[in-house]
Structure 1
Amino acid sequence: MSRTPRRRKARGRSRVGERFEAVVGPVAHGGHCIVRVTTDPSVEPAETRVVFTRHAIPGERVLLEITEGTEGDRFWRGDAVEVLEPSPDRVPAPCRYAGPGRCGGCDFQHVSLPAQRELKAAVVREQLSRLAHLDVPVVVEPVAGDRDGLRWRTRVQYAEDEQGRRGMRLHRSRVVIPVDDCLIAREDAREPSPELVHESVLGRDFVVSGEGFWQVHPGAPRVLVETVLEQLDPRPGEKVLDLYAGVGLFAAFLAERVGERGRVVAVEGSRVACGHARTNLGEFGRAVAVEAGAVDKVLATAYDEPFDLVVLDPPREGARRPVVEQVVDRAPRAVAYVACDPAALARDVAYFAEHGYALKGLRAFDLFPMTHHVECVALLERPA
């Protein structure tokens, strides 16, 4: 099946389809490994190119095939299409749709679960070292709710091919691979829909739109709430900002902790989610305020007052500098940063450091087994 990569300006002759034998280097952020191939051994020094290679494990000797790249590109992309010297961490992929030229949904089905977590930990460590200049030990923890890394996804969105068959897309492509059973999806997984869904976390019920955001690993909401509360240790009477608050998951448990004398302000960009948050948080009355709007714009015009604690749970692109600066302007004693992208987290940790906030704790969770994604919760504190 031909691959249809994303369009970009060609920079010379295409190298797509060419094959190279090479030893796989370290894992990189994004579900691939770094491989350096010799492109022209006749020149001195030999001409080499970096290839971001999927379906490989560090240390293996593989035959890789270029899937994206031209002469003038700084780097190419490729797939390990044959393993010549396998890693001891290599296992048969449980899903028959995983592998080169197949479904692009999973990155690590060929890697044992413990080794998957080690790869993810290496990525988090590397991002914090490179972007935040921190040497931090990282352990990616398993979370109850999957079956040996499978059957955890509670929501799944399928594509449809030209024959009307449901499937998943090839990596970095619009080509649809027919899939009759996605093994990381639960048997009762729902597709997005406008209908309301009721979720329960630690004995508390939440209403959320079937199309709205909710963690897709069944163990995620509980472990994230428990971790945030443990890190922040909210005290009665404190004031808390819950940013990118969604339907009020963190705000509800924070409101319980700070009590009637405290206050929680939840800021969320989705007006639909804000409506559900007001329902979910209604029992707390005026002790909780729900503000609809982009976080940076809301903080630029409102709530310009001291807050004791802040929870940040931004989308994949992270909070970014304007939000970080507005947070530190409120002078919280502690910030809990929930991150699904280690690069964005490391960048924002560096921004916090510019204002004296140090990384005091970090936990990482394997909420997306078989993929390269990892969820982190970082604790940032200002000096006493």
Structure 2
Amino acid sequence: MTPETRTPSTTATAAPTELVLDVGPVAHGGHCVARHEGRVIFVRHGIPGEKVRVRLTDAGDSAKFWRADVVEVLEASPDRTEHFWHVADSGRSWSHGHPPVGGAEFGHISLARQRALKAAVLAEQLQRLAAVGLSPDVEAVGGSPAPGPEATYDAGTGLGWRTRASFSVTTAGKPGMHAHRSEQIIPVREMPLAVDGINRLRLWDIDLQGIERVEVAAPSNGSRPLVLLAPAPGTRAKRLSAVASQFPDDVSVAAFDPLTEEVQQLRGRIWVQESAAGHEYRVTGAGFWQIHRDAPGTLVGAVTEFLHDGGFLAAGSVVADLYAGAGLFTAVLADAVGETGSVLSIEGAPGSSRDARKNLHGAPQVEIVQGRVERVLRQKPRNFDALVLDPPRAGAGKAVVSQLVAAGPRAIAYVSCDPASFARDVGYFQQEGWSLAGLRAFDLYPHTHHLETVALLTPGR
């Protein structure tokens, strides 16, 4: 392949600004692998098999690899489609002099090919990190929209599924999103991946000066949305009130500190009411909740099916929900074990733990403990039938895996949003004599590189 230099690089390297590359296989992280004179280049916004012109976004002579965005497609894949969102379209964005926003890096790929690429990444991570030779399909989630106030999601388009969205704020006081690996904020005037409840707020028409970040939660059950405002240093209460007054009366508005997660009421509630699996859940502030409108029911169904079918979950069972959040899995586990069983629910975040106490106050078989998973398990040893493990993106890690194995459960249902940390942890479980007994993967983040997995792990090979 022959590089084509357009303009001198603005960096202190010999790297050209643009290259023509053949796009190679997909890799974890939302990019594909290409090569130039022996150097690996991670290319975003391409599809394996394409020939493209790229703009280098991170390059240096001493770097082990470079990064690049596609700016022109010379030979297109049959799976390439027109991007649904102009500000996330790489070629269009760079033609206007700025990078694309992050968060929709697969929006130029047909949904079927997106799922195939995600399946390939999952299989590669499992093979490389755990020596597991599985290639599970990534399942589409949801169907045609049904009647209802928030019925915007259609699995056929992959749009309108986000019930949570985060926006940065430009110096002009307008909502925007960051470009990938950049501090640059690109203004936006729509969020096609979000449910109507978020887009109806029309954040782009509101003066957000004095605010650094905005978090929005619009429950899929149509209940009252919540807007969280992270003020810039020095912003006065009067300015916060002025911003809050610009939202409709049926929207709750609160100020919050992203570091401490402290929430201050400005108007309405500081929490939202979510519905899932026959239960109601209160989620305060920026507390964790699955962002896809159909994710809670999908994940609960997969977890309970694995545990029920394996005989690990029934009336009288002793189970634990680890990294439990507001209690999504805890409530369903409590139903399954009944009053003759017990559920230990562990969550590290104080706010989420308080929510779980409110959500499960009518379930005497549930004990809710706030603290680190490994510490609580040591303090409260039990003969567990099963554990449900839903850690943050970084995964559980070797120390926690060892502690879980030491707790002696008959099975573990592992919910993960990151194939790399998941595969790494599967390797740790195998080192402890456990095996992967079941695995499903779900496309809960269409038009992004992310996916969700649910696995069943059992002792013995």
State the TM-score, normalized to the length of structure 2.
0.76
Unmatched 5+ stretches in structure 1? 1-11, 39-47
Alignment counterpart, residue 353 of structure 2, candidates 242, 253, 274: 274
Distance 1:17 1:294 in 2: 49
Structure 1 counterpart SS, 2:403? helix
**Corresponding position: 1:52 with 2:67:** no
Q: How is 1:1-384 mapped onto 2 (pairs within 5 angstroms)?
A: 13-14=12-13, 18-38=17-37, 48-100=38-90, 101-144=99-142, 146-147=153-154, 148-189=157-198, 190=216, 191-192=227-228, 193=254, 194=263, 195-233=270-308, 234-285=313-364, 287-299=365-377, 301-383=378-460
- Which structure has more RCO (C-alpha within 8 Å, separation ≥ 6)? 1
Distance 1:296 1:35 in 2: 41
**8 Å contact kept, 1:247–1:277:** yes
Distance 2:424 2:174 in 1: 41
Unmatched 5+ stretches in structure 2? 1-10, 91-98, 144-152, 199-215, 217-226, 229-253, 255-262, 264-269
- Residue-pair matches, total: 362
**8 Å contact kept, 2:411–2:458:** yes
Please report how far the alpha carbon of residue 16 of structure 1 lies from its aligned counterpart in structure 2 after TM superposition.
5.8
Residue in structure 2 matched with residue 4 of structure 1 by the alignment: none
Structure 2 counterpart SS, 1:91? coil
**8 Å contact kept, 1:13–1:71:** no
Please report how far the alpha carbon of residue 15 of structure 1 lies from its aligned counterpart in structure 2 after TM superposition.
5.2
Root-mean-square deviation (Å): 1.5
Q: Name the CA shift for 1:269/1:63 in 2 (closer, same or farther; >3 Å).
A: same
Distance 1:173 1:18 in 2: 17
AA partner of residue 14 (structure 1): T
Please report how far the alpha carbon of residue 305 of structure 1 lies from its aligned counterpart in structure 2 after TM superposition.
2.9
AA partner of residue 444 (structure 2): L
AA partner of residue 114 (structure 1): A
Tell me which moved more, 152-161 or 337-346: 152-161
**8 Å contact kept, 1:15–1:68:** no
Cα deviation 1:280-334 (Å, max 9, x = unaligned)? 111111x1111101223323x4122321101000000000011111111111111
**8 Å contact kept, 1:27–1:58:** yes
The sequence identity of aligned pairs, in percent, is 47
Tell me which moved more, 97-106 or 271-280: 97-106
AA partner of residue 174 (structure 2): R
Distance 1:138 1:69 in 2: 35
**8 Å contact kept, 1:15–1:66:** no
Cα deviation 1:153-182 (Å, max 9, x = unaligned)? 111111111111111111111111010001
Distance 2:57 2:283 in 1: 40
**8 Å contact kept, 1:15–1:69:** no
Distance 1:33 1:241 in 2: 39
State the TM-score, normalized to the length of structure 1.
0.91
Distance 2:88 2:55 in 1: 17
**8 Å contact kept, 2:344–2:367:** yes
AA partner of residue 387 (structure 2): V
Distance 2:339 2:304 in 1: 18
**8 Å contact kept, 1:128–1:346:** yes
**8 Å contact kept, 1:16–1:65:** no
**8 Å contact kept, 2:120–2:135:** no
Distance 2:13 2:372 in 1: 42
Please report how far the alpha carbon of residue 57 of structure 1 lies from its aligned counterpart in structure 2 after TM superposition.
0.2
Distance 2:77 2:41 in 1: 19
Distance 1:374 1:107 in 2: 13
Distance 2:115 2:45 in 1: 16
**8 Å contact kept, 2:43–2:68:** yes
Please report how far the alpha carbon of residue 13 of structure 1 lies from its aligned counterpart in structure 2 after TM superposition.
4.2
